[in-house]
Amino acid sequence: MKKILTGFFVLSLLLTLFSGMVAAEVQLKFLHRWTQEPYYSFFEEVAADFEKLNPNVKVDVQAISNDPFKEKIKIILGTEQGPDVFFSWPGEFTNRFIRAGQVYDLTDVMEQGWKDDFVYSQLEPFIYNGKIYGSPFRLDAKVFVYNTKIFQEVGVAIPETFEDLLRVCAELKQAGITPIAFGNQAPWAVSHYIGTLNQKCVPDQIRLTDIQPEKGTFTHPGYVEALKKYQQLVPYFNQNANAIKHDEARINLFNGKAAMMYLEIVEIPEIERSAPEEFKANYGIFKFPVIEDGMGDQDYLTGYPEGFVVSANTKHPAEAIAFLKYLTGKEVGKKEAQELGFINGIKNVVDKGEVKDSIYDSTQIILEAKSLVNWLDSSLHAKIWSVYGPELQKLTDNMTTPEKIMQQIVKTAERVRSEF
């Protein structure tokens, strides 16, 4: 027994020694959130390509999938061996790390010309208090994807206004079809609806003040109004929305069991890859309909880019920045567009014809939008979202009222303000 034990200790000692020797070259730790194929391999390839271009650098690629990522990133950033380059959602989700001094300030390097590579509207979300902290990896926005065949058969048109949408849903339901597929097991799904509705019902200045944790009050009546609008949609969702995952619900859209679904544009490549031919040939997209008496700007689009940031604790800032620049640059962007169907934030990264039309066209919607509204969950302070998210699920099950929810949010916002 003793011998085995000594063996283990010696072995582990040797291993540490060896890893120390290998580390003579620069070792970068890179963390993203795409554990599924083909995305996972894509990042491995990009890292390998970067290593080829920079023989002195080794990139250690790690991935944690979407929902656990939101917790794990906080565990990891609290450790000594945090990643050098990591994924993050711009907005409050990243801002909290910036406030804690965890994110490298890229302003100086960006100002040396790098900044000009980007479509500015896609870089803007990474700016906090006037400084640039990240680089966009893929553009995204939320639209309704609908089954053109079903719409035709039932005889309904694309809704222009929210009232239209309710009418269309009613007719679809009468025809025996689930109007809207919805999987809300993780409440980020409902946050996309509420984010959109809040934006359309609350004046922009007030909404933009409210998402700042040190100032937010959430007292404007538009917030209650938004939830009431959402309540009107609830009867048109599939059963058990809170019990199924987003991807599970999406299968119903693909199989023609549901007529439409509020999806992200980045899901279009997934449609092209895994939906049945029948659906691929018969789908279209439309923007969230206008709320005629809404107090917010009706031309905005809900959606925000996602991207990567460099850790403030990196021991190799030059190499980490070089990798970030490569990862979110034009060359990788082209490969990304063609292999994954994601468009990054670089100007004219692909031309029409270089990727599928559905992908190119949907991206234009994002680029042409008057302005983008960040996802509700990643734009709110953790404590406010900790109340908002579960309450919104409750509302989906008709277990609470809009007024009650907003009372709680107001109270929580007050507590958050007091902590700044």
Partner 1 sequence: MSQKNSEQFIRTCLLLILSLLVIAIVLPMGWIVLSSLKNNNEFFSTPLKLPGRLLYVNYQNAWNLGLSQYFINSVLVSGVSIALTIVFGSACAYGLTRFYFKGQTVLFYLILGGLLLSPQVAVLPLYRMLNQFGIYNTYWAMILPYVAFRLPFAIFLIRSYFISFPRELEESAYIDGCNALTTFTRIVLPISKPILASTAIVTGIFVWNEFLFALIFIENKSLMTIPIGLSTFRDALTTDYTTMLAGIVIGSLPIMILYLAMQRSFIKGLTAGSVKG
Partner 2 sequence: MKRGKYTHWLFIIPALLFVLIFVYIPILQSFYFSLFRMNSYSPETIFVGLRHYRDIFDDPIFYTALKNNTWYAVISVLCQVGIGLVLAIILESKFIGRSRKLFRNIYFLPSVISVTAVGLMWYFIYNPNIGLINSLIRWGGAKDFSFAWLGQPKTAIFAIIAMSQWQYVGYIMMLLIVAIQKIPVELYDAAEIDGAGEVKKALFVTIPQVKEMLLVTSVITVIGSFKLFTEVFVTTRGGPYDTTQVLGTYMYRHAFFFDAMGYASAVAIIIFVITFVASLLQIKLSTRN
Q: Does 245 bind partner 1 (CB under 8 A)?
A: yes
For tokens 């208090």, the residue is: 129
Q: Does 420 bind partner 1 (CB under 8 A)?
A: no
Q: Which residues pair with 118 in a beta bridge?
A: 346
- Name, in order, each residue with C-beta under 8 angstroms of 119's C-beta and a sequence gap of 6 or more: 345, 346, 347, 367
If the CB atoms of residues 152 and 386 are measured against partner 2, the closer one turns out to be: 386
Q: What is the DSSP letter of 121?
A: H
Q: What is the DSSP letter of 288?
A: P
Q: Does 398 bind partner 2 (CB under 8 A)?
A: no
Q: Does 88 bind partner 2 (CB under 8 A)?
A: no
From CA 104, how far away is CA 39, in angstroms rounded? Answer: 26
Shortest gap between Cβ of 74 and partner 2 (angstroms)?
5
Go through the chain and tell me how many residues it has. 420
Q: Does 241 bind partner 1 (CB under 8 A)?
A: no
Q: Where in 273-312 is the site for partner 1 (CB under 8 A)?
A: 274
Token pair for residue 208? 């933009």
Burial call 378-409: b when 16+ CB within 10 Å, e when fewer: bbbbeebbebbbebbbbbbeeebebeebbebb
From CA 126, how far away is CA 117, in angstroms rounded? Answer: 15
**DSSP H stretches of helix in 126-203:** 148-154, 162-174, 188-201
Shortest gap between Cβ of 383 and partner 1 (angstroms)?
18
Q: Which of 70, 72, 325, 356 binds partner 1 (CB under 8 A)?
A: 72
- Residue 62 binding result from partner 1, partner 2, none, given CB thresholds of 5 to 8 Å by partner type: partner 1
202, 191 in Cβ contact below 8 A? no
Task: Kindly indicate which of the ranges 9-17, 18-26, 64-72, 356-364 contains the residues binding partner 2, using the contact rule CB under 8 A.
Answer: 64-72
For tokens 């206008």, the residue is: 290
Per-residue contact track with partner 2, 341 to 380, x per CB under 8 A? Answer: ----------------------------------------
Shortest gap between Cβ of 278 and partner 2 (angstroms)?
20
- Residue 383 binding result from partner 1, partner 2, none, given CB thresholds of 5 to 8 Å by partner type: partner 2
Task: Kindly indicate which of the ranges 76-84, 122-130, 148-156, 338-346 contains the residues binding partner 1, using the contact rule CB under 8 A.
Answer: 76-84
Q: Which of 63, 365, 410, 416 binds partner 1 (CB under 8 A)?
A: 63
Q: Which of 99, 115, 280, 417 binds partner 2 (CB under 8 A)?
A: 99
Q: Does 419 bind partner 2 (CB under 8 A)?
A: yes
308, 325 in Cβ contact below 8 A? no
From CA 419, how far away is CA 61, in angstroms rounded? Answer: 37
Interface residue list for partner 1 (CB under 8 A): 1-2, 4-5, 8, 12, 35-36, 62-68, 72, 75-76, 78-81, 245, 247, 251, 274
